[in-house]
Amino acid sequence: MNQETGPKMQAAWAALKARGGQEVALPTLLPAALVLELAGEDVRPRLYFASGPDGAELCLRADLTIPAALNYVQNATTDDEPVAWVCEGKVFRAPKAGEDRAPEFVQIGLERFGDADRIEADVTVFLAAWEACQAAGERNLYVRLCDGGLLPHIIAKADLPDPWNSALGEVASHQSALKRALAQASGTAPSRQISALERTIAELDPERARSTVAEVLALANLSLPGNRQLSHVADRLAARAKRAIATPLAPDLAETLTKLIQLNSQGSLAASLDECVTLAEKLGVDLMDWRQAWTLRLDRIQQDAPKALAHAHFEALSPEAFDYYDGMAFDFAADPSFARPVATGGRYDTLVGEISSGARQARAVGCVIRPARFGGR
């Protein structure tokens, strides 16, 4: 028995299974295009590729979440058909330059789909991950909680002036893009010069703007192949020009948004959540339901695992690496930098829709544990 599959992992696996779930074997080989479509090009340098005899481009799984969601899409007969799966197996990720670890390692995980009660499912998954780590003897873990749905919700509901409401709303779930858009909105990023054509288009109604762009393209013999149509080009030209000539966002609004994006308090969870509510109020957004949902989650966690929140903090924006997560998300680590978490999890309600090109929808939440990192390794 090697270190990864030793008694600690067995204890963690037993604890995870105790939270309920059918044991499933998930596919190891996945269509490469699907994985890159879902996880993005940043994972490409970490993937191992293979080609099938029919020329199909495949890759070895780099996590358990994508194969679980794929398995769900292939087997669920209706949207939101409830299932809970526990899975165990190797995942394959090329080490980064200078990173000293094996290219394949074991993960164990719990993936739940179709739960009617989101909060209860969030709590179950959090507790399963926590109990698995405790069973493996992991003590004094730091816990980071965040909410991938918070900023998109606030920005969608906030009382922001045109064109900044749409400019920020379009990138609300991307940490770095949101920071860049906010820098432009608050006038701290250099603004670009716009041409006479752009200025004209910005002032026309959308229909006139489109016909003007069509004329320009025809006169200059320019072509628009593929998926991007005239309306996309004209609308974006107008939006970009409007941003360049718009009055910057009022400093107090920009400051409130910046505070929300940067909210990363190491203090009490309740204080951080209250601060979100207060900041959102300044933007005209009522977060009382959201706050109530978090109170419920935290109370339920506290009830079953009183020590889980001893070293916990909340961040308003998910770290970039949590690309899937569009709701509650968490990770546990022995080190407060969270550079090498032993467990990660969260809600990914949009993933099943993305995998199936919209053919299937399902609420989903899951977690994975990396036993090789037990003991602070």
What residue ranges bind another protein (CB under 8 A)?
Answer: 33, 36-37, 40-42, 44-45, 57, 97, 170-171, 174, 176-177, 180, 197, 213, 216-217, 222-228, 232-233, 236-237, 240, 353-354, 357-358
**Minimum CB separation from another protein for residue 221, in Å?**
9
Query: Going by C-beta distance under 8 Å and a sequence separation of 6 or more, which residues neighbour residue 63?
Result: 91, 107, 368
What is the spatial distance between Cα 152 and Cα 154, in angstroms, rounded to a whole number? 6
DSSP code, position 158: S
Nearer to another protein, 94 or 293 (CB): 94
User: Least distance to another protein from the beta carbon of 179, Å?
Assistant: 10
Minimum distance, C-beta of residue 171 to another protein, in the bound complex (Å): 6
Between 134 and 350, CB nearer to another protein:
350
Residue 193 Cβ vs another protein, minimum distance, rounded to whole Å: 11
Please state the closest distance from residue 372 (CB atom) to another protein, in A.
25
Comparing CB distances to another protein, the nearer of 3 and 49 is 49
Task: State the minimum distance, in angstroms, from the CB of residue 308 to another protein.
Answer: 33
Whichever of 170 and 255 has its CB closer to another protein, that residue is 170
SS (H, E, C) 109-143: EEEEECCCCHHHHHHHHHHHHHHHHHHCCCCCCEE
Closer CB to another protein, residue 306 or residue 358?
358
Q: Residue 178 is encoded by which pair of tokens?
A: 């949101």
What tokens were used for 338? 């969270």
Which lies closer to another protein via its Cβ, residue 12 or residue 171?
171
Helix (H), strand (E) at residue 185: helix 175-185
Residue 364 CB partners (closer than 8 Å, separation 6+): 69, 72, 111, 112, 113, 114, 347, 348, 349, 351, 352
Give Cα separations from 201 to 167, 198, 204, 216 (angstroms). Answer: 17, 5, 5, 11
